[in-house]
Amino acid sequence: MTQQPPWPSPRGNCRLIALMTVAALTLLPEAGALPFLFPRFRPQINWTQPPLERWVIEEQPRSIEPHLDLVSHPNRTHSAATSGDGSDAEFLQRLVNIRHNQTSTSRMLWYDVGSGDGLVYPPFVDKALKLLNLKQVAFEIENSVMSKVTCTACRAGSGMLQHQIQSGKTDAELIRMISDYCTNLNIQSARVCQGVAQLFGSELIYVIKRVNLSPDELCSFIIGDGCGDVYNPYHEWEVIFPPVPKPPRLADLPIPMEAAPFFKVLHISDTHYDPHYAEGSNADCNEPLCCRLSSGRPATPNAAAGKWGDYRKCDTPKRTVDHMLAHIAETHKDIDYILWTGDLPPHDVWNQTKEENLAIIKETVKQMVEKFPGIPIFPALGNHESAPVNSFPPPYVNQVDISISWLYDELDVQWRRWLPQSVTHTVRRGAFYSVLVRPGFRIISLNMNYCNNKNWWLLLNSTDPATELQWFIYELQSAEFSNEKVHVIGHIPPGHSDCLKVWSRNFYKIISRYESTITAQFYGHTHYDEFEMFYDPHDLNHPNSIAYIGPSVSPYYDLNPGYRVYYVDGDHDSTTRLVIDHESWIMNLKEANLYGYPIWYKLYTARAAYNMKALRPSDWNNLINELTNNQELFELYYKYYWKNSPARPTCDAECKKRLICDCKSGRSHDRKHFCSDVESKIDEESSKSWKSWFYRGLTNSEEQRTASGEEQTTTELWSPIDVVVVNIGG
């Protein structure tokens, strides 16, 4: 049924950017000059505005009939007061016991067991590359933590590519050159270099030829605040809001009623199912994805891939996905609906085809249908579903050979197993949709690849691709008129550094305008167990929304597989549609491989673990303050963030600042706006800890000298605090 509207936009693929950047930089000797190193350089390119299309939001059908039929679960209860983890104590203790015996593999492109930092280059190259500090660039890109080092490399690389294009080199010559340099410099194996050059080279060259952007503008667009806020008129735009006043905001949201009806919701994300995973194969290879027969034979028994997965650069074997789904179906028989937030194919991004990715999508959909018959599933599109990865041309790119319709049309076919017919128009246009789940309750699924700064097509025109955000506003305004509450789902969190700052800024405004309508957001992509906060842009003391970022099924990498279960305020007269509580479940991968059988268990329950009276935005904001001030609580959060992985690294003050800033930053590339107070508090606490340590050391030294009977003179009676002050001042 349709209705006319009421009133008339992780991890593994980061390696490819590093690879492409380094490969472009290695073209330097071919240039003969260095004009690309200067910001003034701007290639003479005939840039044309993409043609406008006629797609009228108001004419599209809407879902107005409730999609979810309630099922009675008479014995179902949920107690927020207790964690219910007592039966899992032995497993948690075993994780603690084995933690110190597990070593992690450094997260880099180039590996050498004998090297101190894990990176190695041929001797004749190492000295030449020091100028641009590409080791640091590789680290920053792979960890999505950008600085001026990466910015400098990006400017040089993009400028070099523009220079080579201007010099008249053909596409084939450029692609072959990138592949040859990548191979000769041992950046990756020959087949990875060739695959990356072929898959990504043509698309990147196609886009660069058609944009009129300087290296400064390009890199500010892609990297964000790590490369300065360069004004770019081609990529500055604003969404339009309807002339409807914003409802008065409440001082705080009401706490959901205890013992009221609720929905039990499963959240699965980042499955990254690898059909070619092979137990016993090499898990310690030098490619973006290992644990395959093509990865070679393991050099040592410890380098062999485990039966149920591996902490190293390996994705999820089929048996692990099957076992998890069977466990969920048996353990959580009262699930009302499922959120499925994307990233189904594996991380073999140099070797993917459209046909293989579609086959994986079909197979995983079949798994979900078989394991959860009759349960509605609401999917969202990940960045790995396309081939090549991150390639999502907007609708105006409609040439047969580069259009994205091959994916969106198949998604419509597969998703229609769970979704109403009214979503076909928007799914085929941009892989987003809106569904009325229950009276007064709607789910909106967004295609977050239109904010993905690794989606090169957005360089052509980033203005609200596929008109998604304007459609989003229309859906939210319609929901506001109808007194509906909305849950938003997607893949890439809007505050993540992978999201374009201009898109994220507009999205942030939308969340603020419709804060009384949107009661929760759900994303994946990072593979970690975390959350993001949203605030009123004009009053940062007013938190107005919370984004839940679910853990990955894939262990890629250094992680345990996991999933989430939410309890959502259900159908009753005083419902808030807020998340009442959530719990994270994991499988101890090391034990599963050791004993030959996986055991899934509840790691923690949010309210019990963090002593929260509710999960409103204000409660999560209070938790951020507690995490900043309470080191013991932060260490607990850090353990859960890593899904209790025995391979997790230690977290110093800089790590703590980054993680808490991630929680506060629902708007990407704007950390300085949200994080200055958090960073200053952590720095202050770190300074206090250092002074305390220094004072204790001196005090212990004095006590030892006194105990040994050493004679003190007047000149030796000095204050350690004075020494600290003098040292700081110096």
Weakest-pLDDT range from 63-77, 265-279, 554-568, 629-643: 63-77
Q: What is the pLDDT of residue 188?
A: 81
707 or 265: whose pLDDT is higher?
Answer: 265
First to last CA, the chain: 75
Q: How many CA atoms lie within 13 A of 597 on its CB side?
A: 2
Among candidate residues 21, 57, 113, the one with its CA nearest the CA of residue 469: 57
Annotated binding site for Zn(2+): 270, 272, 343, 383, 491, 525, 527
Q: What is the pLDDT of residue 36?
A: 37
CB 392 within 8 A of CB 386: yes
Eight-state DSSP code of residue 294: G
At 189, the pLDDT band (50, 70, 90 cuts) reads: confident
- Tens digits of residue pLDDT in 330-386: 999 999 999 999 999 999 999 999 999 999 999 999 999 999 999 999 999 999 999
Indicate the residue type of 274: D
CB 587 within 8 A of CB 600: yes
Among candidate residues 446, 476, 487, 445, the one with its CA nearest the CA of residue 578: 487
What's the rounded Cα separation, in Å, for the pair 462 and 50?
Answer: 11
Of all residues in the chain, the percent with pLDDT exceeding 90 is 58
Place of tokens 């886009």: 207
- 231's tokens: 């004004």
- 537's tokens: 């842009």
Weakest-pLDDT range from 396-410, 454-468, 548-562: 396-410
At 216, the pLDDT band (50, 70, 90 cuts) reads: confident
Cα–Cα distances (Å) from 621 to 24, 584, 669, 713, in that order, read: 43, 20, 20, 54
144 or 171: whose pLDDT is higher?
Answer: 171
Q: What is the pLDDT of residue 48?
A: 47
Q: What is the pLDDT of residue 180?
A: 82
- 727's tokens: 């040292």
At 12, the pLDDT band (50, 70, 90 cuts) reads: low
Q: What is the mean pLDDT of residues 535-564?
A: 96
Contacts of residue 256, Cβ cutoff 8 Å, sequence gap at least 6: 569, 575, 576, 578, 580, 614
Weakest-pLDDT range from 14-28, 213-227, 611-625: 14-28
Contacts of residue 333, Cβ cutoff 8 Å, sequence gap at least 6: none
Eight-state DSSP code of residue 86: G
Beta strands in 383-508 (DSSP E): 433-438, 441-445, 485-489
pLDDT of residue 14 exceeding 70, the answer is no
Place of tokens 């041929």: 122
pLDDT of residue 600 exceeding 50, the answer is yes
Weakest-pLDDT range from 315-324, 490-499, 699-708: 699-708
pLDDT of residue 314 exceeding 60, the answer is yes
At 85, the pLDDT band (50, 70, 90 cuts) reads: very low
Cα–Cα distances (Å) from 31 to 27, 127, 429, in that order, read: 7, 19, 42
What's the rounded Cα separation, in Å, for the pair 65 and 1?
Answer: 7
Q: What is the mean pLDDT of residues 151-171?
A: 84
- Tens digits of residue pLDDT in 113-137: 333 433 444 444 454 445 455 445 5
What's the rounded Cα separation, in Å, for the pair 429 and 433?
Answer: 10
CB 14 within 8 A of CB 453: no
**CA-CA-CA-CA dihedral for 82, 83, 88, 91, to nearest 10:** -140
Bridge partner residues of 586 (DSSP)? 562, 601
Which stretches of 574-675 are DSSP H helices? 589-595, 606-610, 617-629, 631-641, 653-664, 671-674
Among candidate residues 381, 507, 491, 378, the one with its CA nearest the CA of residue 443: 378
Weakest-pLDDT range from 203-212, 354-363, 505-514, 619-628: 203-212
Considering the chain, what is the average pLDDT of its residues? 82
Cα dihedral 328, 332, 337, 339 sign: negative
Among candidate residues 422, 325, 416, the one with its CA nearest the CA of residue 378: 416
Predicted TM-score (pTM) above 0.85: no
Contacts of residue 690, Cβ cutoff 8 Å, sequence gap at least 6: none
What's the rounded Cα separation, in Å, for the pair 559 and 588?
Answer: 9
Q: What is the pLDDT of residue 257?
A: 94
Annotated binding site: 270, 272, 343, 383, 491, 525, 527
- Tens digits of residue pLDDT in 671-730: 878 888 888 889 888 776 555 545 555 555 555 555 555 444 433 333 333 333 333 334
Eight-state DSSP code of residue 287: S
What's the rounded Cα separation, in Å, for the pair 178 and 19?
Answer: 9
Q: What is the pLDDT of residue 90?
A: 53
What's the rounded Cα separation, in Å, for the pair 542 and 560?
Answer: 35
Place of tokens 């039929």: 69
